[in-house]
Amino acid sequence: MLWESHILMPPAGRVEFLLNGPGLGVPASIVTRKVDTGRDGENDPTRPLAQIVAALDSAEPRAKLAATSEPVIRETQTWLGNVKPSRERKLYFAERSQDPANPKSPIVYSITEEGREPVPFDPYSKSPDITVQQGEVEDWIIENRTQELHAFHIHQTHFLLLEWNGVPLDEPYLRDTINVPYWDGKSKEYPSVKLRIDFRDPEIVGTFLYHCHILEHEDGGMMGSIRVQATEAKP
């Protein structure tokens, strides 16, 4: 358990928390703070998310979570932070105007592996953008080469946050979504996160997606596909 006074959550992120509620009949609010999403980002002002009022005649909740849940990590697996990665990749967020001569032209979004030209996601392509082998663990560096915040999200699996802008971290929990800060347009280095991604689970074999978790961006092409190939059984 971590004690926090505030939590930075990415778009569509999830968090579990315990809090001391207000006294009987005392109203309280859960509030989102203003978030700086960059020169090209969306306006994200302070606003209320939920109102809390403690009352003796409150209705019982419609549903309750189980007292215990299945562990995220299998007991037979080595903790992800102690696994040597099979390889390291770098991916980057990019944006460009569809028509540079028209200031109102739609923006083309992309997330691309280093060494390739940035192009928007093609949902009809039969070839995955990245292929990995089931049983492996990889380190991915995600750079933001745009002047607005993006949120990296991957389906089917989880990752550890290893570094934030090159600074090593020691987080004891897994994520599947993380914000990547915006570039200021001047710095020689782009903002980045370094993630250790787990492809050991045999249940995730197949093709699935990674993308920015902001709806407008993913719909605009900031998405890629990854294929996890099954490991052949040893005779």
DSSP 149-164: -EEEEESS--EEEEEE
pLDDT class for 234, splitting at 50, 70, 90? low
Mean pLDDT of 116-142: 97
Q: How confident is the model at residue 233 (pLDDT cuts 50, 70, 90)?
A: low
Q: How far apart are CA 120 and CA 40, in angstroms?
A: 19
Per the CB < 8 A criterion, the answer to whether 179 and 150 are in contact is yes
> How confident is the model at residue 202, as a pLDDT?
94
**Percent of the chain predicted with pLDDT > 70:** 94
Res 56 pLDDT > 60:
yes
pLDDT of residue 73: 52
Percent pLDDT > 90 in the chain is: 65
- Cβ-defined contacts of 111-117 (< 8 Å, 24+): 111/152, 111/210, 111/211, 111/212, 111/222, 111/223, 111/224, 112/224, 113/89, 113/224, 114/89, 114/90
Q: Domains in the chain and their CATH numbers?
A: 87-229 (2.60.40.420)
pTM of the model: 0.86
**Stretch 138-157: mean pLDDT:** 97
Tokens of 117: 């030209």
Cα–Cα distances (Å) from 100 to 79, 97, 107, 192, 216, in that order, read 48, 5, 10, 27, 20
Reported as a single tens digit per residue, the pLDDT across 187-224 is 999 999 999 999 999 999 999 999 999 999 999 999 99
**How does 100-114 read in b/e, with b if 16+ C-beta sit within 10 Å?**
eeeeeeebbbbbbee
Mean pLDDT is highest, among 21-30, 49-58, 97-106, 107-116, for: 107-116
